[in-house]
Amino acid sequence: MSDGRDLLLLEVEELTVRFGGAIAVDDLSLAVPPRRITGLIGPNGAGKTTTFNACCGLLRPTRGAVRLAGRDLATVPPQHRAQLGLGRTFQRMELFGSLTVRENVALGREALLAGRVPWRHLFCSSAERHVIDAATDEALELCGIAGLAARPVVSLSTGQRRLVELARVVAGGFPLLLLDEPSSGLDVAETLEFGQILEKLVSDRGIGILLVEHDMSLVMSVCSHLYVIDFGRPIFAGSADEAQRSAVVRAAYLGEAE
């Protein structure tokens, strides 16, 4: 009998998102289990970020369902989805440059604890402060940036800031992470290190990750399962090896004839 740990973290079923007469996502279904990095890839404008926004509650789907650990999220607002375990990063880094690395990372757990009570952003109990400090320390270590904790974010390189952004969402303790082009701006060595950190998060914490990424070397090295979309429509689902051999995927990316 299952102990519940094998329950899918995220299920997207027949998701459709329209903007007026334009269809941004068209009948997309996907599943993200724990202990695995799942890729969602496709050319620019394919609908990947729109899918993330629908999962997070920033957009209302025209049709379809999004479920988190079996719970339908249709009526759940974005902040409550985070409290249920959904963490997310964005294409454009949203860090506070004047704050230190540690202060930025701590915000990941502080915001989650504050939840729907605004005044808790200003005050917390000693027990909550201990939780925040412990989560921050662990996230800094896991992401390899403990040595940067006291530095202001504005002084960091792009690669270092990407790790701060990752550490902040890791500090939230979410069982599910949606990462939107997290390696953007990184060089080859930094991308390799980033991929190793993602794999360590999955193995150490048992979390599930849905990764949107244009760096195919990263995708193929860390993702065991891929979904490919083009013009909002799903065109492929399978392993990374199968995707590399797929004429449909090559046609979407390279314009090759099938």
Q: Which residue range(s) make up the domain with 162?
A: 94-173
| Count of other CB atoms within 10 angstroms of residue 72 | 12
- Residue at which a domain ends, from 150, 173, 196: 173
111 and 212 both lie in a single domain: no
Within this chain, do residues 78 and 178 fall inside the same structural domain, yes or no?
yes
Same domain as 188, residue 168: no
Q: Which of 141, 173, 205 is the last residue of a domain?
A: 173
| Angle at which helices 188-205 and 126-142 cross, to 10° | 130
pLDDT digit string (tens) for 188-211?
Answer: 999 999 999 999 999 999 999 999
Residues of the chain with pLDDT under 70: 1-6, 114-123, 254-258
Report the pLDDT value the prediction gives residue 213, as an integer from 0 to 100.
Answer: 94
Q: How far apart are CA 200 and CA 109, in angstroms?
A: 20
The mean pLDDT value of the chain amounts to 90
Residue 110 and residue 36 in one domain: no
Reading the block at residue 143, the tokens are: 């992401």
Query: What pLDDT score does 167 carry?
Result: 96
Confidence at residue 115, expressed as pLDDT on a 0 to 100 scale = 58
pTM of the complete model beyond 0.75: yes
Q: What per-residue confidence (pLDDT) applies to 2?
A: 40
Q: Are residues 121 and 243 in the same domain?
A: no
Q: How far apart are CA 250 and CA 258, in angstroms?
A: 8
pLDDT in tens, 216-236: 999 999 999 999 999 999 999
> 136-158: per-residue pLDDT in tens?
999 999 999 999 999 999 999 99
Asked which of 120, 155, 173 is the last residue of a domain, the reply is 173
103 & 169 share domain: yes
- Is 80 found in the same domain as 184? yes
Note whether 101 and 193 are within 8 A (CB).
no
Centroid of chain to Cα 126: 30
Instruction: Specify the pLDDT at position 123.
Output: 63
pLDDT at position 94: 86
**Residues 158 and 185 reside in one and the same domain:** no
> 3-state class of 11 per DSSP?
strand
Q: How many domains does the chain have?
A: 2
